[in-house]
Amino acid sequence: MSGNGTKDNEYLGDVILDDESLSPASRDIMHERQMAIYDLLEENSFHVIGANGGPYILHLSAVENRLALQISDERESFKHVILLSMTSFRKVIKNYFALLEVYFEAIRNASPSRIETIDMGRRGIHDEGSEILRSRLEGKVELDKATARRLFTLICALHWKP
């Protein structure tokens, strides 16, 4: 697998969600997590400012009211931890979960046009969350919009409360 980073080795080679940070989840939420990780590993662009390159291993966890991004290279010769306050993400995560519940229900019962309308809203929230993430990582990690969107899904997975 290779990413589409600025260099051949500027991508995530593995993403690990901290099991202790995850809440129990429905089948739908588990599927969202798995698809986000799969899509992320298939194609991503991830460059840690000041590092000699990857591929990188990203371990995501929730520590108190913070998001912890533990980044290393595959040889573990490089390790970096970034802690981000979740305050700026709260509203968009809350909106994402509210719309996600509507989306999952619509998939089972609604017309295709209704599902498409809800999905457009979901994509809009994803875009908002990914822009917040990219802004918060500015000067630390460079990532493209698609990578940020998938990482936002995983950040939400850490904060899902059944």
pLDDT at 7: 59
Q: What is the pLDDT of residues 98-128, one digit of tens each?
A: 888 888 888 888 899 988 898 899 889 989 9
Whether residue 61 contacts residue 22, with contact meaning beta carbons closer than 8 Å, is answered with no
Task: Return the minimum-mean-pLDDT range out of 1-10, 89-98, 135-144.
Answer: 1-10
Cα gap 5→89, rounded to integer Å: 25
pLDDT value at position 2? 43
Give the pLDDT confidence score for residue 160 in this predicted structure.
Answer: 64
C-beta separation of 45 from 6 below 8 A: yes
Confidence of residue 1 (pLDDT cuts 50, 70, 90): very low
State the pLDDT confidence band at 22, using cuts at 50, 70 and 90. confident
Across the chain, mean pLDDT equals: 86
Mean pLDDT of 4-19: 78
List the single range of 10-19, 53-62, 71-80 with lowest mean pLDDT: 71-80
Neighbouring residues of 46: CB distance < 8 A, sequence distance ≥ 6: 3, 5, 10, 11, 12, 54, 56, 58, 141, 142, 143, 147
Q: What is the pLDDT of residue 162?
A: 52
Residues β-bridged to residue 81: 70
Q: How does pLDDT run across 58-102, given as a tens digit for each residue? A: 999 988 888 999 999 887 777 899 999 989 999 999 998 888 888
The domain segmentation of the chain, as residue ranges, is 12-158
